[in-house]
């Protein structure tokens, strides 16, 4: 007879309901594949009367998280509610009650990973979190175990499905930013508070977790320089397209001689770049190891079913005992590694895209060229566009690309430009990125 493993799910929204669907519909084949009988014993939600996309047996549905924690036949708790304080308390209580925990909650792990992992070790239990980064892509385990032989010098990721979906829709169909965001919410990609997606916070949460595992140092969420996509307009995406670029919200961890650089920024990459064709809700992560060279992980980074795929994989790892062994042996989680050292900010040197809104009168273009010259920034191209309908406003957009320049110098030039009478609104600045060069060992 198959071993029975009791499951308690706390949170049955986009992800939780997809996990319930797989457990109810694929239960037999999962047992056939693993010899384990996963028994769904509790589903905990806030509102038990809400309509759900899956039929949950009435006798296991409740709004009381204490029920699965008190049940001796529930072995694994799936935390799928989101947020920070409530799930933190729930997970700590679950560990104290002797349960193992699976979570998809990147915000929680990025902000409180250290104490949570420490509590799990103290309780002799484990935490599995494959779904927290890259949705359905089996990324965490691949980097942690599959690339163990490597010194990793760079990670470049498209880590937010909502932002990638919005940028794709804005460029392909010239859909407005707010309409594209509404579509992403409708499709279940966005966080309960979508600000976390579009302001770059969600990507930064994921980068803090992924970079810590890849670089084997604790990467502090607060040290990540973060900018989201909220100030981008269709004009920028079309201007970039004309110049041969695609805009992606990139999460980057890169080692330099003087420390680690952690950034989440909209970035223009050439159309030939390996990450350029990643569209819609898909995520992709390039990891560069000294032995393996470039590896690229690609898949659906958001949405109920893809994320549930990773959650169920974790449940199986916990149920088979593999997760407990890995967790106890690993010294690479936030409670056991040294803090990373960081490169001073503003040192990045690259070509930049600038969009400056100018009053439609003589001399404005000359003034911005003078400011750039005064800062020692060489202009690579300068194009004045007719105002685009979707952009709105009275300013005439002037697009400048620079030759390779230091970030801090470009920021100083932007400040000076913004003080010119002829300049209207915010100067939009997007760095460009060349493909990372593999280390010479690969």
DSSP string, 254-310: EEETTEEEEEEEEEEEETTSTTTT--TTEEEEEEEETTTEEEEEEEE-SSHHHHHHH
Q: Which stretch binds ligand NDP (CB under 6 A): 98-106, 151-159, 223-231, 425-433?
A: 98-106
Q: Are 15 and 308 in contact (CB under 8 A)?
A: yes
Binding range to ligand NDP, per CB under 6 A, among 38-46, 291-299, 312-320, 367-375? 38-46
Closest to 388 in 3D by CA, of 280, 252, 237, 221: 237
Separation between Cα atoms, residue 428 and residue 233, nearest integer Å: 10
Q: Tell me: does residue 197 bind ligand NDP (CB under 6 A).
A: no
The mark string for 173-192 relative to ligand HSE (x by CB under 6 A, - otherwise) is: ----------------xxx-
Do the Cβ atoms of 16 and 312 come closer than 8 Å?
Answer: no
Of the candidate residues 10, 163, 239, 371, the single one contacting ligand NDP (CB under 6 A)? 10
164/158 Cα distance (integer angstroms):
7
Closest CB 265 distance from ligand HSE, rounded Å: 16
Candidates 64, 82, 103, 135; CA nearest to 281 is 135
Contact 104, 311 (CB under 8 A): yes
- When CB distances are held under 5 to 8 angstroms depending on the partner's kind, the choice from ligand NDP, ligand HSE, none that residue 160 binds is ligand HSE
Residue 206: active-site member: yes
**What's the rounded Cα separation, in Å, for the pair 158 and 163?**
9
Is residue 302 part of the contact set for ligand HSE (CB under 6 A)? yes
One of 67, 86, 295, 411 touching ligand NDP (CB under 6 A): 86
Q: Is 14 in the site for ligand NDP (CB under 6 A)?
A: yes
CA–CA separation, 43 vs 58, rounded Å? 9
Interaction of residue 301 with ligand HSE, rule CB under 6 A: yes
Total residues binding ligand HSE (CB under 6 A): 11
Q: Which of 6, 157, 188, 289 binds ligand NDP (CB under 6 A)?
A: 188
Q: How many residues bind ligand NDP (CB under 6 A)?
A: 29
Q: Which of residues 347-406 bind ligand HSE (CB under 6 A)?
A: none
Task: Check 4, 58, 106, 206 and give the catalytic one.
Answer: 206
Placement of tokens 């933190």 in the chain: 88
Positions 150 through 169 that interact with ligand HSE (CB under 6 A) = 160-162
Do residues 245 and 257 make contact, with C-beta atoms less than 8 angstroms apart?
no
Residues marked as catalytic: 206
Residues within the interface to ligand HSE (CB under 6 A): 135, 160-162, 189-191, 197, 202, 301-302
Residues within the interface to ligand NDP (CB under 6 A): 10-16, 44-47, 50, 65, 80-82, 86, 104-106, 131, 135, 188-189, 191-192, 302-303, 307
């Amino acid at each position: 007879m198959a071993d029975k493993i009791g499951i308690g799910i706390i949170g049955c929204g986009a992800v939780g309901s997809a996990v319930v669907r797989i457990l109810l519909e694929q239960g037999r084949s999962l047992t056939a594949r693993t010899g384990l009988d996963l028994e769904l014993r509790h589903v905990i939600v806030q509102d038990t009367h809400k309509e759900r996309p899956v039929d949950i047996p009435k006798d296991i549905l409740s709004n009381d998280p204490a029920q699965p924690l008190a049940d001796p036949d529930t072995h694994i708790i799936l935390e799928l509610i989101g947020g920070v304080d409530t799930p933190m308390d729930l997970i700590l209580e679950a560990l104290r009650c002797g349960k193992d925990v699976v979570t998809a909650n990147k915000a929680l792990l990025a902000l409180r990973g250290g104490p949570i992992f420490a509590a799990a070790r103290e309780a002799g239990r484990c935490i599995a979190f494959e779904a927290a980064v890259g949705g359905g892509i089996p990324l965490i385990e691949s980097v942690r175990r599959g690339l163990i032989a490597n010194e990793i010098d760079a990670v470049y990721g498209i880590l937010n499905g909502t932002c990638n979906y919005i940028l794709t829709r804005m460029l392909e169909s010239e859909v407005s930013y707010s309409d594209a965001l509404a579509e992403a919410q409708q499709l279940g990609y966005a966080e309960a508070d979508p600000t976390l997606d579009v302001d770059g916070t969600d990507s930064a949460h994921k980068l803090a977790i992924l970079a810590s595992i890849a670089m084997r140092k604790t990467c502090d969420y607060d040290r990540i320089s973060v900018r989201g996509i909220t100030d981008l307009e269709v004009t920028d995406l079309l201007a970039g397209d004309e110049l041969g670029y695609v805009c992606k919200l990139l999460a980057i961890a890169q080692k330099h001689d003087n420390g680690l650089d952690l950034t989440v920024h909209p970035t223009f990459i050439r159309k030939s770049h390996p990450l350029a064709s990643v569209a819609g809700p898909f995520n992709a992560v390039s990891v560069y190891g000294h032995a393996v060279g470039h590896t690229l992980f690609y898949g659906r980074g958001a949405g109920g079913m893809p994320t549930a795929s990773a959650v169920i994989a974790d449940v199986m790892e916990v149920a088979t005992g593999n997760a407990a062994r890995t967790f106890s042996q690993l010294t690479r989680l936030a409670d056991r590694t040294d803090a990373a050292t960081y490169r001073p900010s503003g040192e990045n040197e690259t070509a930049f895209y600038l969009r400056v809104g100018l009053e439609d009168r003589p001399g404005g273009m000359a003034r911005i060229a003078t400011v750039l010259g005064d800062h020692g920034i060489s202009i690579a191209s300068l194009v004045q566009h007719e105002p685009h309908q979707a952009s709105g406003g009275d300013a005439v957009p002037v697009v400048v690309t620079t030759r390779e320049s230091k970030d801090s110098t470009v920021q100083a030039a932007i400040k000076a430009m913004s003080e010119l009478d002829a300049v209207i609104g915010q100067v939009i600045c997007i760095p460009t990125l060349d493909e990372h060069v593999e280390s010479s060992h690969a």
